[in-house]
Each structure stands twice: as C-alpha cells, then as structure tokens.
A and B are shown apart, each in its own frame.
Chain A
Amino acid sequence: MKRFGFLAWALWFGYAFLYVPIGLLILYSFNDSRLVTVWGGFSTRWYGELMRNDQLIDAALLSLRIAASSATFAVVLGTMAGLAMVRFGRFRGRTLFGGMITAPLVMPEVITGLSLLLLFVAMEQLVGWPAGRGVTTITIAHTTFSMAYVAVIVQSRLVSLDESLEEAAMDLGARPAKVFFVITLPIIAPAIVSGWLLAFTLSLDDLVIASFVSGPGSTTLPMVIFSSVKFGVSPQINALATIIVLVVATGIFIASLLMARQEKQRQRDEQMALQGG
C-alpha cells in the first residue's frame, strides 16, 4: 500500500466490521451471566450445559451426516458438470446446462425450498418415492444447490489449467478416462477439496431449504438454533457458535496450508520436468 490513507482505513474498517461481531460472540460465550450483554465474570458453564443438551447434539450429528453425504454427491456431480462445461466444447443443450449450473448460486432459498418440496410431494403421489420427507430429501436438496458451487470452483480451476498436459497424454495413447484420473484429477484436486469443504459448510448451515423439505424426526442443527434464537439470545448458542467458529477456522487454516504446500510442490515438479526435458 503506497498511500497509507483512505485505503488502509477502509481496509481496517472492513475487517473490524467482519470480525468484531464474531469476537464479541466468542467473548460473551464465557460470560457467567444469563443476560448475554451484562458481564458477570468468566465461566465455562454454558459449554457444560451445551454438552448436556441432547436435542441439540442429536441435531448436530444429523446435520453432520447429511453434510458429509451431500458434499460427497455434490463433488462427484459438480466435477462432472465442470468438466463437461470446460472440456467438451459445444454440445446440445449446453446453454441450458450452463444456466442450470449458475442459477442455484443466486436463487433465493425460499424459492428453491418450496419448489423442491412440491417436487417431492408430486413424486410421492406419482411413483411413491420418496415416501415422506426426511434425511433423504434434505440430502438431495443440499446436493443440488451445492453441486453448483462445486461446478463453478472446478470450472475456474480447469479454465486456468494448461490443456497441453492432457493433450500430450492423449497423444501418447492414454484413454480419456485414464487421462482424467492420472493427469486432470491430481491437478484439480485442490479445487475438489475446497469444493467439498464448501458444500459441507453450505449444507451444515442451511436453514430455509431444510425447513421446507424436512419431515418429522429430521430436525437439523440450524433448525434448532433458529427456533431458540427467535426468542432472543441464549448463552448456549454463543458457546455453540464459538465451537463452530474455532473448528471452521482451524479446518480452513490447515486445509489452505496443505493446499499451498502441495501447489508449491507441483510447481517445483513442473519446473524440474521442464528443465530436465
């Protein structure tokens, strides 16, 4: 930053805006007082109460299960979609396909939720599946909107990737499937990892769509948080928020360190290969 003036102030203000609310949330999770904004001394009692809240823990486990499976499906489908968009040139219906990939990124959640619920109801009437709504329908819904994010991430990675490596492998007689698994997949692996993580968090975080397509007995964590938050602040939610923020921050930090190291290694290998050849 050459001009330490307006820009630096804007940057500091922006980061303060982003982080002060989260910081306060964490601070008050250690507050002994039941009144969230009145400091009553340091205590970890809300963490203890959180651990004894069975309803919340069950919902968290359910949410984690749904997030893991929907992220995995989303990665498979999204990678296929990204590959098709970038590497397959023009094919019939490509415009519609591209539209269906980018639209979920901005589609208001209430519309997605309502439309998927009506689909599930209509399908149940017509073919008897899915019978009722629950984990399966939530997983399908989450897969659908998060595969769009994965596709976009994979696309931008593929676009910046030099095609000559893949072409060289083809010229040497490798079949397309082999080229994908041996050449393309390792290179786009960072994009796939971040796609999976993103899909996982999006699923873990979704309230609106899950509320539409869930049934009795499939209450996810955001639904529990929402119903307790609607009636004001509760210190237990502060404790839960702190745990989520810490887990996510460490996870992202480790993942980005690993990816940066791998990227450096790959670049070094490429350099070596170029110099050797």
Chain B
Amino acid sequence: MSGVTPLFDAIWDDYMFWSILVGAFSFGWLYHHTYYYRAKEGESPNIDNLEVGVFPKEYDNFKLEVTWTVLPFILIVWLTYISWAPLDAVWSQTGPDGYHGSVCEDGQSSNNFIDASGYVRSECYHEIGIEGQQWFWEFDCYGLSEELCATDYATVEGELKPHLILKAGETYLAEMTSIDVTHAVKNTEFGMMEDVVPGQTAYLWMPAVEDTSFLMLCAEYCGDNHAYMVAQITVE
C-alpha cells in the first residue's frame, strides 16, 4: 500500500507485517485442525466423555495459556511502542521541541522536507484559519502574502466550492473553529483529520510538501448537506 503519506505508509507496512504473521499463524492452525481433526463420515465419537448434566473433564494447559497471554501482550507493547513516536509528529507541539518550529518571520520559508522516518520537518510554520459551518468551509489567510496563501472558488462536480491555494515547501498550522455544529477537517493527502467542535479552537498541521490538488472533506456528520461540504486544496 502506498500513496497516502510516508508516515502512514511506514506504520501501515509494520502493521501489515504483524497482521499477516498473526493471520497466517491463526488461519494455518484453524485450517489444519478443521481438516486434520474432522470426524469420519457418520461418526461422532465422544472423546472427553461429555455427558448431559455432568460438568466436563477439565482440558487445559497452564503453560500454553500463559504463553498466548504473554506473547500477544509483548506484541501489543511493541506495536504501541512503534506507534508512539508518530504520535508526537502528528500532533507536534510548536516551538523548538516540535517538528515545525515557531511561526515564520516575514519572508521566512518553512523549507519543509520528509525525513527518513517519514516525518515532515520544517524550520517554521504559517498560521491560517479554517471555519466550518453548515455546510461549507471558509478559509482565512491571516494576511499571508498571495504567494503563500490564496483563496478563491473552484468547480467540483458542477458546484462552486471554496478553494485554498498553498505553496509547496511551506508548513501551515490551521486554526479551526465552527460556528454551529461539530465538523471535522479531513485532508486525505496530508493523512490528517481533526474535529472542529463549536466553542473550541482546534489546530491541525497542514504540511504542504509536494504539488498536488485534492478535496478537503467534512468527516464528522453534520446534517443534510454533510456529503457536499467539500473544499479544494491546491499546493503549487
């Protein structure tokens, strides 16, 4: 699987590896036993002498049971461990400890790039605003230059939708609010989504690394025209 984001792809590959391993083990076992231990035609032997009204003979093996308690536990600790670092990258804090530095000075560029682990790193970021309401998005460039951030309208399936134009190589932090109900910004190509709950300000990193153009969707059901609450984002 490729093509979402390098970060997503990296975790996905790790998880797929373990999934296939666990799946192959379980299904191999299942298919072997269902075939190998099948009853002969018309026979129904009573192996453990099951008898109505008698609690059956105990059949267990402490060591085995502990094994398949401990091994999956170790596996999930490992999976949690490998999912831990991306957590900080996805919801990176601002400032020098974060992945995207502080707000850019006038004329400063983020110069963002994807590092070996798949994380986007930037020297600084620009702030923009996204406001959701039933049923459209409104972008605010917060006074950034035309080159860095521009808005207009684009035709999507015959309907006029808001259009945000960002610059490749720049990282943006969207300050998001909603004036009515809960919406959610879903930027498929940035591999990110975040709910926009009314009365609160939510933040979402939008690292525009490469030229692209995609649809930003509303991913939290918000009423009648929820499905058509889309906007186009172009990175160029």
Q: Do A and B bind each other?
A: no
Chain A residues with CB under 8 Å of chain B are: none
Chain B residues with CB under 8 Å of chain A are: none
